[in-house]
């Protein structure tokens, strides 16, 4: 009997050691497993096929699949494949399950051309008249016709076009040219639209920094506006290295951003092809609560979203913008702009890089009051245009203890795993491990 007990003990010990080994291995590769598990491999499988968007995208993905069709290009030359898949599915059963708003979205999904109402004269936004050679950064700021005060605050603070010196304490940075451009659509109500259009014309003539399309400023139209901007950028903005896509209610530490981007330019060029930085959301499921702003029903999209950067601010290279635009010819419009950009990145087999100083998630009022806190952020949400001006003023004071405060450098590549999310990550890694076996 004692022999059996000893044998049992030995077996239990071996099992324990094996478990320990597995845990150690997972722990070491957690980042790997996590990032692999967090991106959907495909947007279609048996279960997902019931959702309209997945179904539409599947048609296109299969046609351009390099295994099924060797030699198929990674990007489509135009959007004809998208239109084709849409026409085939026009009256499928899933359609009627969508909310009215989404049905409307689907009906507009094949349209990708809208007329331009205002644009800077032959130029890539407002810049310095003396500017020669390359622009380092174009600030492309999404705004709405009525947000005049925010636009003025940006023009006076972080969005000043022209030569920007690097964050002073960051050593021997060189400084660079920065340009500014506001992107907007039209106001929904025809009355307001009439009243704002003259003012906008004057504003545009005076500042030369507005690009407006004849399209309502609605969340569903946000994705389309992004694509229109990418297309415009390709035509007009040669000689620009990076683009910041942000909205008009954020504060940006432009000098620090300039320093950081110049560091990126010094790295090998291939790295720039893939460069996108922001506040990365690596695991998110669609919002299923009706009436929430980003509501997406199961009948429209199933599965996790691929990693994406929050819409308030992302920075990426002009080289990547070109690739994103080309790949967008094979990706159906998705009603949430930041998710759409994430899906395009996924189709390029890329994921954005997280920088903790872009929209720091733990930013509180107390933290803001710390003396040098503003010097250490790249991008922050503001409460008002006066708040924006205050932040700008503070970030430009480099005296006393703040003389050497800087934004942390961009070091990590890939997806961030925050400590707070660790438990969740653990469960996820188990989950994906089993799925991968």
Chain residues binding ligand NAG by CB under 6 A are 104-105, 108, 190-191, 194, 214-216, 218, 220-221, 401, 403-404
285 vs 404, beta carbon nearer ligand NAG = 404
Least distance to ligand NAG, CB of residue 210, Å: 17
Least distance to ligand NAG, CB of residue 102, Å: 9
Least distance to ligand NAG, CB of residue 230, Å: 17
Least distance to ligand NAG, CB of residue 225, Å: 9
47 vs 188, beta carbon nearer ligand NAG = 188
In sign, the C-alpha dihedral spanning 283, 342, 352, 123 is: negative
279 vs 395, beta carbon nearer ligand NAG = 395
77 vs 371, beta carbon nearer ligand NAG = 371
Least distance to ligand NAG, CB of residue 38, Å: 30
33 vs 373, beta carbon nearer ligand NAG = 373
200 vs 415, beta carbon nearer ligand NAG = 200
The answer to whether 90 and 56 have CB atoms below 8 angstroms apart is no
16 vs 403, beta carbon nearer ligand NAG = 403
Say how far apart CA 375 and CA 140 lie, in whole Å: 22
Least distance to ligand NAG, CB of residue 339, Å: 16
Least distance to ligand NAG, CB of residue 144, Å: 13
106 vs 410, beta carbon nearer ligand NAG = 106
133 vs 400, beta carbon nearer ligand NAG = 400
Least distance to ligand NAG, CB of residue 333, Å: 10
Least distance to ligand NAG, CB of residue 192, Å: 9
């Amino acid at each position: 009997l004692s022999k059996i007990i000893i044998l049992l003990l030995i077996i239990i010990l071996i099992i324990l050691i094996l478990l320990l080994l597995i845990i150690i291995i997972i722990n070491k590769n957690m980042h790997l497993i996590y990032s692999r598990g967090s991106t959907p491999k495909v947007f279609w499988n048996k279960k997902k096929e019931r959702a309209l968007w997945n179904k539409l995208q599947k048609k296109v993905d299969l046609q351009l699949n390099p295994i099924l069709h060797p030699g198929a290009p990674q990007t489509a030359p135009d959007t004809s494949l998208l239109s084709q898949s849409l026409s085939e599915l026009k009256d499928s059963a899933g359609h009627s399950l969508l909310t009215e708003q989404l049905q409307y979205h689907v009906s507009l999904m094949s349209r990708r051309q809208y007329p331009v109402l205002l644009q800077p004269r032959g130029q890539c936004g407002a810049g310095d008249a003396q500017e020669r050679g390359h622009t380092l950064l174009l600030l492309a700021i999404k705004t709405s016709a009525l947000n005049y005060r925010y636009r003025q605050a940006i023009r006076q603070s972080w969005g000043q076009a022209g030569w920007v010196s690097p964050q002073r304490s960051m050593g021997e940075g060189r400084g660079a040219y920065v340009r500014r451009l506001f992107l907007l659509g039209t106001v929904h109500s025809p009355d307001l639209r009439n009243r704002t259009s003259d003012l906008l014309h004057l504003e545009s003539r005076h500042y030369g920094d507005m690009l407006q399309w004849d399209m309502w400023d609605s969340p569903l139209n946000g994705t389309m506006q992004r694509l229109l901007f990418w297309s415009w950028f390709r035509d007009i903005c040669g000689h620009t290295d990076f683009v910041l896509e942000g909205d008009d209610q954020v504060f940006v530490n432009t000098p620090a951003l300039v320093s950081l981007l110049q560091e990126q330019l010094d790295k090998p060029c291939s790295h720039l092809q893939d460069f996108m930085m922001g506040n990365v959301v690596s695991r998110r499921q669609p919002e299923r609560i009706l009436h929430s702003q980003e509501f997406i029903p199961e009948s429209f999209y199933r599965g996790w979203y691929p990693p994406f950067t929050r819409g308030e601010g992302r920075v990426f290279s002009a080289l990547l913008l070109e690739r994103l635009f080309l790949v967008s010819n094979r990706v159906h419009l998705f009603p949430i702009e930041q998710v759409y950009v994430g899906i395009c990145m996924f189709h390029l087999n890329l994921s954005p890089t997280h920088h903790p100083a872009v929209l720091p998630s733990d930013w509180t009022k107390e933290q803001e009051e710390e003396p040098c806190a503003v010097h250490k952020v790249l991008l922050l949400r503001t409460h008002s245009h006066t708040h924006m001006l205050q932040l700008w003023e503070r970030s430009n004071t480099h005296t006393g203890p703040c003389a050497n405060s800087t934004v942390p450098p961009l070091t990590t590549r890939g997806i961030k795993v925050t400590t707070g999310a660790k438990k969740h990550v653990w469960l996820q890694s188990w989950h994906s491990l089993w799925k991968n076996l």
